[in-house]
Structure 1
Amino acid sequence: MNVAKRHAFVTGAGTGIGKAIALALAAKGMHVTLAGRRNAPLAEVKELISGAGGVAYVLDGFDVTDAAVVGQGIGWAIETAGEISILVNCAGEAPSAPFEKTETELWNRVLGINLTGTFLVTHAALASIRLAGNGRIINIASTAGLTGYAYVSAYCAAKHGVIGLTRSLALELARSDVTVNAVCPGFTDTPLLDNAVETISGKTGRSHDEARASLARANPQGRLVMPREVADTVLWLASEKSSAITGQAIPVAGGEVMGG
């Protein structure tokens, strides 16, 4: 496996976990397509990668819920950077609302981005991943896909779906050289978490620091997960050392969720 010639396609690459993953893959010598809706954060990530001697391509306007846009974007990435060796589905959104106030529009939007988006991107990229050889599909799910959290029913449902999709596709591809896994971060120090802190603070009157501390307490280590820790797990799954690992949902959460 010649890492330097491998093309990684990362959705949600402009901020948070997606940004950390893109930087980590590029640091290993992979050419990275940075896919997302907004140009500015993607351009900033590209500048960081280029400044460190890496290679990155910006694919903005990439709406994972639009099949036509996804197909065009995947085609552009293959034409620009070659067959896709590693696909990381990281685009996501996690708005909160009590179940009784979760309207159909919110439900459909959250499932569209987190679950249907993962399906659409993977469906469009799979033929290329097969052609590339030693392919890796890595879905960024969440501990919300392994357990339940109050006030985010749509997000929990979507991430449970991502894990189910991961396991099903892993079995379909088990006799090929393509592995499919999910990484399940706990509460991670990202802009997505900042939004949760803002919501908690607004609804409870607690300070931002108190709200962050309450989320950190969900982790038995008493801290928030850092984006680079999630990226390190993705790096391992993207390597040839993980060729026997498929169909797994790996928590990165300090012991918050344990299997078995």
Structure 2
Amino acid sequence: METSARLAVISGGGGGIGRALCRELVQRGYEVVALGRSPRRLRELEAMTVRAADAGASDHPPVRGVVCDVTDETETDRVLSALGPVSVLVNNAGTAESAPLHDTTLRSWHDHLAANATSAFLLTRQVIPGMRERDRGRVVFIASTAARAGTPYTAAYTASKHAMLGLARVVAAEVAGTGVTSNAVCPSFVRTPMTERSVQRIAERTGRTPEAAQQALTDSGPLGRLVEPEEVAAAVGYFVSDAAACVNGQSLVLDGGGIQS
């Protein structure tokens, strides 16, 4: 599985944001490996990029999907060791559920920490030594506005995203002064299947229509709409670019102005 030096690895590559990230980094000339647990979604992602290449939308190699449970230490170490040098790592894998604190189960708490924080820790820990040795690399964390503020009914999710943002800042402090950077993107609600599931849960619990439930989400911030996956990908594109070589330890908030950096 040896690859070129311009290799980008994206966790959660088969999801809504993940697909946009794959497109962005392919267009920037990276060979992209998408990690995920669903073989079906990864096959769909591969087929989508093959069709785009056949249609002349890209002259770069299609995205390659690799099945990997990024919360498992042995599996992440095995997969990343086989890939070779990683130039860009985007920690995008995650999960989100909502419940009042008193109804949040320990299982849900552990699941959120594993998917949103431990996965990023395992992947980043594996690639950082090589990046430092080559004195070049980019690590980007897809966090959330929930990493910077607390909102009701999101104890497990918010805590795990705070942990992810804290990890991004620690990595930035450790690589400061090198050619490696660590930054985070913190969007509000993004138009993805995960958000659609959240809307459905809100509708079921409150008796609202799905349209009213989604409106409640968009009304919670100044943007007045959902963030598009491509907007998240564009922010990542900036962080991995040469133009951002001096940007390290920053969190870029995508919410229309509700949370100040």
TM-score range, shorter chain: over 0.9
Match of 1:17? 17
Do the aligned residues in 1 keep the contact of 2:36 with 2:69 (CA within 8 Å)? yes
Superposed, 1:210-229 pairs within 5 Å as: 210-229=212-231
Structure 1 residue matching 2:169: 3-state secondary structure = helix
TM-score by length of 1: 0.93
Give the 3 Å change call, closer, same or farther, for CA 215–155 of structure 1 in structure 2. Answer: same
Matched pairs, number: 251
Match of 1:91? 93
Q: Which moved more, 1:130-139 or 1:204-213?
A: 130-139
After superposition, give the CA deviation of every residue in 1:147-178 in whole Å (9 maximum; x if it has no partner).
Answer: 11111101101111111111111011002110
Structure 2 residue matching 1:97: 3-state secondary structure = coil
TM-score by length of 2: 0.92
Match of 1:49? 49
Do the aligned residues in 2 keep the contact of 1:85 with 1:133 (CA within 8 Å)? no
Q: Does 1:70 align with 2:72?
A: no
Q: In structure 2, how many angstroms separate the alpha carbons of the residues matched to 1:197 and 1:155? A: 16
What's the offset of the Cα at 1:41? Answer: 1.4
Do the aligned residues in 2 keep the contact of 1:142 with 1:186 (CA within 8 Å)? yes
Do the aligned residues in 2 keep the contact of 1:65 with 1:116 (CA within 8 Å)? yes
Q: In structure 2, how many angstroms separate the alpha carbons of the residues matched to 1:198 and 1:76? A: 40
Q: In structure 2, how many angstroms separate the alpha carbons of the residues matched to 1:240 and 1:23? A: 18
Letter in 1 for 2:65: V
Do the aligned residues in 2 keep the contact of 1:139 with 1:182 (CA within 8 Å)? yes
Q: In structure 2, how many angstroms separate the alpha carbons of the residues matched to 1:221 and 1:64? A: 32
Q: In structure 1, how many angstroms separate the alpha carbons of the residues matched to 2:15 and 2:115? A: 16
Structure 1 segments unaligned to the other structure (5+ residues): none
Match of 1:258? 260
Match of 2:38? 38
Letter in 2 for 1:240: D
Q: In structure 2, how many angstroms separate the alpha carbons of the residues matched to 1:39 and 1:149? A: 34
Q: Which moved more, 1:131-140 or 1:187-196?
A: 131-140
Structure 2 segments unaligned to the other structure (5+ residues): 54-58
What's the offset of the Cα at 1:131? Answer: 4.2
Calculate percent identity across the aligned residue pairs: 36
What's the offset of the Cα at 1:133? Answer: 4.2
Q: In structure 2, how many angstroms separate the alpha carbons of the residues matched to 1:218 and 1:54? A: 40
What's the offset of the Cα at 1:198? Answer: 0.8
